[in-house]
Structure 1
Amino acid sequence: MQRSMGSRHLVMIALGGVIGSGLFLSSGYTISQAGPLGAVIAYGVGAVVVWLVMVCLGELAVAYPVSGAFHIYAARSIGPATGFTTAWLYWLCWVAALGSEFAAAGILMQRWFPDVPVWIWCLLFAGVLFMVNAISARVFGETEFWFSMIKVLAILVLIVLGGAAIFGFAPLSDQPREALFLSNYVTDDGLFPTGLTGIVITALAVFYAFSGTELIGTAAGETKDPAKNIPRAIRSTVLRLVLFFICAIAIIAAIIPYDQTGVTDSPFVTVFDYIGVPFAADIMNFVIITALLSAGNSGLFSCARMLFSLADEGHAPRVFSRLTRRGIPLIALSVSILGGLASLISSVIAPETVYLVLVSIAGFAVVAVWMSIVASQFFHRRSFVRQGGDVSQLAYRTPLYPVVPILAFVLLSISMVAVAFDPNQVAALYFGVPFVGLCYLFFWWRHGRRGARLRPEQVRAAEG
């Protein structure tokens, strides 16, 4: 692997993985389920959990800056079976996401090219993302930077113009707009029209919307000066997410009555129409396609690094660890893109069986991987101190230990339990929990209960 990415690449890779359909499309679902104020609170809680997870990730990523690192943290700090399971959960998560993002982008392209079949766009987008990832890590980082910039600009426009419209100032609109202020927050059923349970039930959807921040850890092995750039990227990412997500949700909830939101239309289109942005639907169609391709770009990068890392440890076929002269795991990348296309095919051929299982495990995987990260940090720090390590000598350390990892684990566990009470999301538990069990059983059958630890040269490479 070549360390060719800087802090700005890491920030935009994380934002690229996070800012996607979860904000541009699914935020309407969150508002309808939790109510206006409830949605803002739900995203606020999500931002807190993201910060808790990220500061845990920061300590691990600086201590062991290896590519595809989540499962290595878990393997070293908890156990090799947990590392193995974490890796396959995360790989399958992004493979399922790739399929859905290709399909969604292809469907959106039909707005302008109705005679071109969706599958052609899917193959075209898959080919473009494959080439971007196959050239070099720096080309991937630069592409993701500009992909993400488009999404960030769209959000900033919504925050600035939407915020002005709330106070009755909408210069782009050909109709006068009255000042709404926070009138939509007080519904006929009070501040929480769906009750406090609506906030808890939407927690998993909110966490899924924030998923992708952990990509900073995946890219740690290809980052210049990890001790400096990883903490900087974490701070910048969390601050931007709080600004973009919470401000955007607050403005959307203030302009659109909660009972008129949902998943059929993008709330961004509704707000842009309200404030008078010309060609709002076409602009947002372009932005959403960019967002989908950006998330797919980050996801494909992550998939390839996970397979490479698994193979490097001996937990996947060794062929996946082969690198090109530019440091790209091309075979792992090829298998990952094929997995994404297989997921896409299953969404058409078997949407109620195979694809349902994939998507359910993907939703479960996000929270499960975050739980493994905070648990890894807890055990890593404890082991470090027990072996006589000086915490003050750590290049980056998680603050308020052990409160931060324990609080994060508890909040993530609560969100898992809450899923059982939402019929739209309960499939995540039905398929996610058995999948985890099967991964553990397979690992123990293949490698024994003790499994394989990191080899000495891997440890030296990580620490160096």
Structure 2
Amino acid sequence: MEQRELKRDLSNRHVQLIAIGGTIGTGLFLGSGKAIQLAGPSIIFAYFIVGIALFFVMRSLGELLLSKAGYQSLTDIAEAYLGPRAAFVTGWTYWFCWIMTAMADVIAVGVYVKYWFDIPQWIPALICLLILLGLNLLTVKIFGELEFWFALIKVITILALIVIGVILLVIGFKTHTGTVSAANLWAHGGLFPNGFSGFLLSFQMVIFAYVGVELVGVSAAETSNPKKNIPSAINKIPLRILFFYVGALIILLCINPWTQLNAAESPFVKTFSLVGIPLAAGIINFVVLTSAASACNSGMFSTSRILYNLSKTKQAPASFEKLNKNHVPSRALWVSVIVLSAGALLSKLIPEEAFGIVTTISAICFIWVWGVILVCHIRYRKTRPDLHAASTFKAPFAPFINYVVLALFAVILVIMLFADATRPALLLTPLWFIGLFILYWMRKNRAKRT
């Protein structure tokens, strides 16, 4: 007899490390190189601003998740406060978000492997996809174990970078480009060497660095004690942002003047090479490679489960709801992986531009998802004042801060319109939303006729 329910084999140990590791990904390890080239040391402020904005998004999500025990996904929240059409568009857009994010990670795998082997990027990208597909077709417990160790590696790496960086700062270590010093933050053209415009143009890649942060709240909601774990996980986000993002970037730019970093390389690998530890640079390249594989693994897991949930709510074909003998939604997984393989194809066709195009589309779609969370929270406060009054985890400064963050997102989208690198993706992405609205209209009309 066919199994009809997903098997929940993730322990609290898995969830906690996945929550930490989920805030550290390819956007930081690889994408920060491009962002630093655009903004110089002012990139630190960009990461801080976006990080704090997303903390308020998460506080809104936390209050919404705790307001009703039945919420299992962002789609449920969107349907409750914005209606079925918004739920349909948001559910499918969230799937597309993770497809684009995982595609960027697949492309990154190819970039990292080129550090050791001069082979076309698409080959290791495709091999990575096939290996992860095989593992995901087994059990959710294997996914949890993989992510636990991948996350642990990422956390240890950044800890090591910060500790080593502080030691090099204290002893005044000299590299072939100069002395490791805090002065490197402003000695090469100031904090804003490319002006305010360069600072603004970096926001797209900074947004991409934080994609998936909402998983912290959603994962905590699936634990045995969400009333305790959701506030705990969300309130730790500012500390993680300051430490893992702002702290790591400050150390990187103290060791390595921003002018020495290449947009196409990982600044983490470059920094250890500069310090004169080639073996360590190779080890760090392996770490960022596992980070990209980890993020791609999360993308596979997430996209298959999103399709499964869309199928259960009749918003996707019924076949996506079918599980294999290991309680894995295998058909949904196969569909996601087939679409993901386009990342390997992009690596072959446009290896230089692929990462930038995919990360821009991902950032735009995640802005939609985060915006929906903020708008739902505004609607929740207006339509369910009783739930808000009873909440033990009220979002601070709402609804004023919701409008401020929505305005920030709007400004970032306008900035993307004026940048040559992001304009094509920004102009193409609305076609996805237009297509979804048309599809919803067709489904609704067909349902009326039957």
Band of TM-score, shorter chain: 0.7 to 0.9
- From 118, 125, 130, the equivalent of 1:127 is 130
Length, aligned pairs only: 443
Cα distance in 1 for residues equivalent to 2:104 and 2:152: 22
Maintained 8 Å contact 2:204/2:360? no
* 1:113-262 → structure 2 map (5 Å cutoff): 121-170=124-173, 180-187=180-187, 189-219=189-219, 222-262=222-262
1:267 paired with 2:289, answer no
Q: Which amino acid aligns with 1:405?
A: N
Deviations 1:429-463 (A, max 9, x none): 20122322221222123215999xxxxxxxxxxxx
Q: Which residue of 2 aligns with 1:109?
A: 113
- Secondary structure of 1:223's counterpart equals coil
How far does residue 157 in structure 1 lie from its aligned partner after superposition? 1.2
How far does residue 206 in structure 1 lie from its aligned partner after superposition? 0.5
TM-aligned CA distance change 1:4 to 1:327, over 3 Å: same
Q: Which amino acid aligns with 1:425?
A: T
Q: Which amino acid aligns with 1:137?
A: V
- Stretch moving more, 192-201 or 299-308: 192-201
Deviations 1:191-216 (A, max 9, x none): 32222222222112111111111123
Q: Which residue of 1 aligns with 2:310?
A: 310
How far does residue 70 in structure 1 lie from its aligned partner after superposition? 1.8
Q: Which amino acid aligns with 2:226?
A: P
Maintained 8 Å contact 1:70/1:217? no
Maintained 8 Å contact 1:24/1:268? yes
* 1:281-430 → structure 2 map (5 Å cutoff): 281-324=281-324, 327-349=327-349, 360-385=360-385, 389-394=386-391, 396-430=393-427
Q: Which amino acid aligns with 1:97?
A: T
Cα distance in 2 for residues equivalent to 1:86 and 1:371: 10
Maintained 8 Å contact 1:27/1:267? yes
How far does residue 333 in structure 1 lie from its aligned partner after superposition? 1.8
Cα distance in 1 for residues equivalent to 2:186 and 2:224: 49
* 1:73-88 → structure 2 map (5 Å cutoff): 73-88=77-92
TM-aligned CA distance change 1:102 to 1:355, over 3 Å: closer
TM-aligned CA distance change 1:2 to 1:167, over 3 Å: same
Maintained 8 Å contact 1:10/1:230? no
- Secondary structure of 1:401's counterpart equals coil
TM-aligned CA distance change 1:401 to 1:363, over 3 Å: closer
Q: Which residue of 1 aligns with 2:3?
A: none
Maintained 8 Å contact 1:16/1:294? no
Q: Which residue of 2 aligns with 1:458?
A: none
How far does residue 155 in structure 1 lie from its aligned partner after superposition? 0.9
1:45 paired with 2:28, answer no
- Stretch moving more, 424-433 or 67-76: 67-76
* 1:60-79 → structure 2 map (5 Å cutoff): 60-64=64-68, 69-79=73-83
* Structure 2 length-normalised TM: 0.87
How far does residue 378 in structure 1 lie from its aligned partner after superposition? 1.7
RMSD: 3.1
TM-aligned CA distance change 1:357 to 1:67, over 3 Å: farther
Maintained 8 Å contact 1:300/1:336? yes
Q: Which amino acid aligns with 1:302?
A: S
Q: Which residue of 2 aligns with 1:460?
A: none
* Structure 1 length-normalised TM: 0.85
1:20 paired with 2:17, answer no
Q: Specify every segment of 5 or more residues in structure 1 that has no aligned partner in the other structure, as ranges.
A: 452-464
Maintained 8 Å contact 1:14/1:212? no
Maintained 8 Å contact 1:8/1:233? no
